[in-house]
Amino acid sequence: MKVLVIGSGAREHALVRALTLDPTVAAVIAAPGNPGTDALALNEPVDATDPAAVVDLARRHEVDLVVVGPEAPLVAGVADALRGAGIRCFGPGAQAARLEGSKAYAKEVMAAAEVPTAMAHVCTDEAQLAEALDAFGAPFVVKDDGLAAGKGVVVTEDREVAMAHGLACLAKGGDARVVIEEFLDGPEASLFCICDGTTVVPLDLAQDFKRIFDGDEGPNTGGMGAYSPLAWAPQGLVDDVVARVAQPVVDEMARRGTPFVGVLYVGLALTSRGPRVIEFNVRFGDPETQSVLARLESPLAVLLAAAADGRLEDHDPLRWSAQSAVTVVVAAEGYPASPVTGVAIDGLEELAADDLAEHVHVLHAGTAHDDEGALVSSGGRVLSVVALGDDLAQARDRAYEAVAEVGLEGGHHRTDIALRAARGEIRA
């Protein structure tokens, strides 16, 4: 198979890596890719949100499968255009992608499918906003209705901060809406469900760390680290979430004539009243994918092609490594507010030659080559360092040992990824 991967982050580097490990894959093209995918695949420039450009690229390379990494191309209709051109694509069409593109739409589908989630009010003006905040009380959960790269949600005890974020969302104008939700407590988990429009195949659970600082302090980010599996998760959780969340949503989307083909990312809070959906995404999560795919032993291209073809029902049960995976994101100085870019990145070649490399790999995200060909940072989340170990403690030790070898002036990372889980401190 020849596979085209759309996107340029560490998630896409993880996808490219897993695809090249699949013996059925002859070649991978990454568009636009990054300096990390360049070592494994052919990088091709593309405007990923231009459906015609992606179709053109897929045709030019006569690919057998397109895997769309990020949400923006899906919301822009890239998967529809590919399928319309007769090209096999793993990723939902624009209508189905609204499960991520509009939080209000996701709530509507969840209500129709009777999926357990937080109670919510959708507000279109200041008066409704104020009323909804007072109805739920603190802690306040305020969500931009539209796509916001993981930064549209504010959870705060401070009513003024909640109000200010809500007003900022509404100030975008047009049909801007803001969603106010009931606060859900309990540990969070992410479950990626591979869907073919009818059948659901869940991957293993992961947990990510959205806040910028240790101890879950500071603003939300696109994700600062992740680990898998979740030894603390209640037995049967995956089956329960498929039965109560993913399958009903896939059935509802099929009933609406907008079948869901791709990853339904179910973000959960494991509350005292049972699992509740916090959010849906319509693609692999970043950085959870880096940890989950490090443990997947089944060939990835075979799985994703089966989903694209509506043949998941016949797919072999997935095989997983018994090891634990920990991913630590190395972020640029100033991330998430205003990342400093163009800073030299050192130590990766030494790391690749080290004994540690047997258990650790480094995935690129915000990296680029400068005019002299040297590797420099080009975005907020620069690298994902992924380590495997016999348990979380060993995987953590290896990941942090590797992170210490990476040179990025002003760079920072969380030091507590998977720490509480490794210590057995998480109770669901």
Stretch of 18-26, 90-98, 129-137, 280-288 contacting ligand GLY, by CB under 6 A: 280-288
- Choose which of 102, 117, 258, 281 interacts with ligand GLY (CB under 6 A): 281
How far apart are alpha carbons 240 and 96 in whole angstroms? 23
What residues numbered 140-159 form the site for ligand GLY, per CB under 6 A? Answer: 150
Q: Which is nearer to ligand AMP, 220 or 324 (CB)?
A: 220
Q: Which is nearer to ligand AMP, 28 or 191 (CB)?
A: 191
The closest of 90, 89, 109 to 98, measured between CA atoms, is 109
Q: How far is the CB of 157 from ligand GLY (least distance, A)?
A: 23
Q: How far is the CB of 348 from ligand GLY (least distance, A)?
A: 24
Q: How far is the CB of 283 from ligand AMP (least distance, A)?
A: 13
The closest of 215, 212, 231 to 392, measured between CA atoms, is 231
Q: How far is the CB of 118 from ligand AMP (least distance, A)?
A: 4
Q: With CB cut-offs between 5 and 8 Å by kind, which of ligand AMP, ligand GLY, none does residue 188 bind?
A: ligand AMP
Q: Which is nearer to ligand AMP, 91 or 146 (CB)?
A: 146
User: Torsion angle of alpha carbons 223, 3, 54, 369, nearest 10°?
Assistant: 60
What residues numbered 222-251 form the site for ligand GLY, per CB under 6 A? Answer: 223
Q: With CB cut-offs between 5 and 8 Å by kind, which of ligand GLY, ligand AMP, none does residue 75 bind?
A: none
Give the residues across from 279 on adjacent strands: 267
Q: Are 78 and 96 in contact (CB under 8 A)?
A: no
Please identify the residue of the shown chain whose CB is closest to the bound ligand GLY: 285
Q: With CB cut-offs between 5 and 8 Å by kind, which of ligand AMP, ligand GLY, none does residue 286 bind?
A: ligand GLY
Stretch of 132-140, 153-161, 278-286, 404-412 contacting ligand GLY, by CB under 6 A: 278-286
Q: With CB cut-offs between 5 and 8 Å by kind, which of ligand GLY, ligand AMP, none does residue 288 bind?
A: ligand GLY
Q: How far is the CB of 214 from ligand GLY (least distance, A)?
A: 18
Q: Which is nearer to ligand GLY, 105 or 159 (CB)?
A: 105
Q: With CB cut-offs between 5 and 8 Å by kind, which of ligand AMP, ligand GLY, none does residue 223 bind?
A: ligand GLY
Residue ranges that bind ligand AMP, judged by CB under 6 A? 118, 141, 143, 150, 153, 155, 181-184, 188, 210, 220, 267, 278-279
Q: Which is nearer to ligand AMP, 182 or 346 (CB)?
A: 182
Q: Is there a cis peptide before residue 287, judged by omega within 30 degrees of 0?
A: yes
What residues numbered 285-314 form the site for ligand GLY, per CB under 6 A? Answer: 285-286, 288
Q: Which is nearer to ligand GLY, 80 or 288 (CB)?
A: 288
Question: Which H, E and C letters describe the chain, residue by residue?
Answer: CEEEEEECCHHHHHHHHHHHCCCCCCEEEEEECCCCHHHCCEECCCCCCCHHHHHHHHHHCCCCEEEECCHHHHHCCHHHHHHHCCCCEECCCHHHHHHHHCHHHHHHHHHHHCCCECCEEEECCHHHHHHHHHHHCCCEEEEECCCCCCCCEEEECCHHHHHHHHHHHHCCCCCCCEEEECCCCCCEEEEEEEEECCCEEECCCEEECCEEEHHHEEEECCCCEEEECCCCCCCCHHHHHHHHHHHHHHHHHHHCCCCCEEEEEEEEEEECCEEEEEEEECCCCCCHHHHHHHHECCCHHHHHHHHHCCCHHHCCCCCECCCEEEEEEEECCCCCCCCCCCCEEECHHHHHHCHHHHCEEEEECCEEECCCCCEEECCCEEEEEEEEECCHHHHHHHHHHHHHHCEECCCECCCCCCHHHHCCCCCC
Q: How far is the CB of 74 from ligand AMP (least distance, A)?
A: 16
Burial of 372 (0-12, 13-18, 19+ CB in 10 A): exposed
- Kindly write out the interface string for residues 181-210 of this chain, putting x where it contacts ligand GLY by CB under 6 A and - elsewhere: ---------------------------x--
Q: How far is the CB of 206 from ligand GLY (least distance, A)?
A: 9
Q: With CB cut-offs between 5 and 8 Å by kind, which of ligand GLY, ligand AMP, none does residue 347 bind?
A: none
Q: How far is the CB of 285 from ligand GLY (least distance, A)?
A: 3
Q: Which is nearer to ligand GLY, 285 or 379 (CB)?
A: 285
Q: With CB cut-offs between 5 and 8 Å by kind, which of ligand GLY, ligand AMP, none does residue 183 bind?
A: ligand AMP
Q: Are 190 and 264 in contact (CB under 8 A)?
A: no
Which spans of this chain sit near ligand GLY (rule: CB under 6 A)?
150, 208, 223, 281, 285-286, 288
